[in-house]
Amino acid sequence: MSADDVLALVREDLRDFAGYSSARSSRLQGEVWLNANESAWANPADADATCRRYPDPQPEALRAALADLYAVAPERLVVGRGSDEAIDLLVRATCEAGRDAVLVTPPVFGMYAVSARLQGAPLLEVPLLDDPGQGLVPDFAAIARAAGGGGAKLVFLCSPSNPGGQAITLDDIAALARALEGRSLVVVDEAYAEFSDLPSATTLLQAHPNLVVLRTLSKAHALAAARIGAAIADPALAGVLRRCQAPYPVPTPCAALAVAGLSPQARAATAARIAQVRSERARLAAALARLSGVRRVYPSQGNFLLVRFEDAQAAFDALLGAGIVVRDQRAAPALGDALRITIGTPEQNARVLSVLSALRPSTAVPPGMSDAAGGGGR
């Protein structure tokens, strides 16, 4: 499959779209810049006068730092406001409203469906399979069938998956990309890749131009408020996505913080935090699995655990009563008894455990029993 075939997956009306021609993207040289209606003087709050001018649309130092971090060529990168922006760009650049579909694998991160809805792209859902040993895993045969039959331009895989926590092997990703070659882009959202035992899918990009990998500094790199994420894609596709972006998507203070946050010292600190999260994850998972009110702890490759409870409402309320807020997953199909708990500090995890161990054995009435009792008139 060549780059031309990948561009064939872009919306026809956007294939030669040049995007906004910003003051920073023109190739002019000079010393006195009077072309962008910027202020000639700095704001007093802007001590080092770094914010007086519009930023480089793809700040060079940040691009270089991310290319090094992910071991990819800079021309494959689209840097933006979190991976959320990358998701939105992919949907807008490839899906024609009312025609081209987006395929998702629920229960999964909600932004894929939100972006599809905003674009008017039909949503195809192929639920994850609940394997007693492995946890929530994609049904690859059903995905390939549904994507082909339903005209999906985009197939979103989440690895490690939020909220399930399971990661997908490179063999499975490569096989799906091959099966959908020329028809769909396979997007692997690796927001939690740093916490996983499995390698990143970036090594497959060369062989599979219809593959896109999403990464973010929001989770393992502890920079959620800086809003820095990236799509890593075929260079020609990356060019299209950049042209679809807002004119100056990366604020200068955010880029500066991200570059500092990727210094060798900062990366060493990140590696230490990741190691701590992984050991706390193992400890918390084992301890939770021993509690009487816990039905199941899914094996997780992320910085969170998906846990099924005998009485999820009681667990949620008890945690909230102790000031601990966890994610209620019960609205998700097939997770009617589940909460997602982020791995915290050892002290925070100990608090979670102490609250949940104090839960009294469930007195909840099994579903349907109260109705049956009422309806039966006894």
Identity of the residue, 243 or 340, whose beta carbon is nearer to ligand PLP in the bound complex: 340
Tokens of 100: 């081209």
Burial classification of residue 366, based on how many CB atoms lie within 10 Å of its CB (0-12 exposed, 13-18 middle, 19 or more buried): exposed
Could you give the residue ranges of the DSSP H alpha helices within the chain? 3-7, 60-70, 82-94, 111-119, 140-150, 170-179, 235-244, 252-260, 264-289, 312-321, 346-357, 369-376
Contacting ligand PLP (CB under 6 A), which of 200, 218, 301, 349?
218
- Give the shortest CB-109-to-ligand PLP separation in angstroms: 4
Q: Contact region for ligand PLP (CB under 6 A) — 91-99, 218-226, 263-271, 314-322? A: 218-226
Of 173, 258, 248, 181, the closest CA to residue 221 belongs to 258
Identity of the residue, 112 or 140, whose beta carbon is nearer to ligand PLP in the bound complex: 112
β-strands 152-158, 135-137 pairing: unpaired
Contacting ligand PLP (CB under 6 A), which of 107, 138, 229, 249?
229
List, in sequence order, every residue forming a beta bridge with 58; answer none if it has no partner: none
Q: Which helix (H) or strand (E) holds 46?
A: none
Cβ neighbours of residue 255 closer than 8 Å, sequence gap 6 or more: 55, 59, 61, 62, 228
Using CB under 6 A as the binding rule, whether residue 110 contacts ligand PLP is answered as: no
Identity of the residue, 83 or 210, whose beta carbon is nearer to ligand PLP in the bound complex: 83
Between the alpha carbon of residue 255 and those of residues 56, 61, 319, 340, the distances in Å are 10, 8, 37, 31
Site string for ligand PLP, 187-216 (x = CB under 6 A): --x-x------------------------x
- Give the shortest CB-161-to-ligand PLP separation in angstroms: 7
- Give the shortest CB-158-to-ligand PLP separation in angstroms: 5
- Give the shortest CB-90-to-ligand PLP separation in angstroms: 12
Q: Which of residues 135-194 bind ligand PLP (CB under 6 A)?
A: 158, 162, 189, 191
Interface positions with ligand PLP (CB under 6 A): 82-84, 109, 158, 162, 189, 191, 216, 218-219, 224, 229
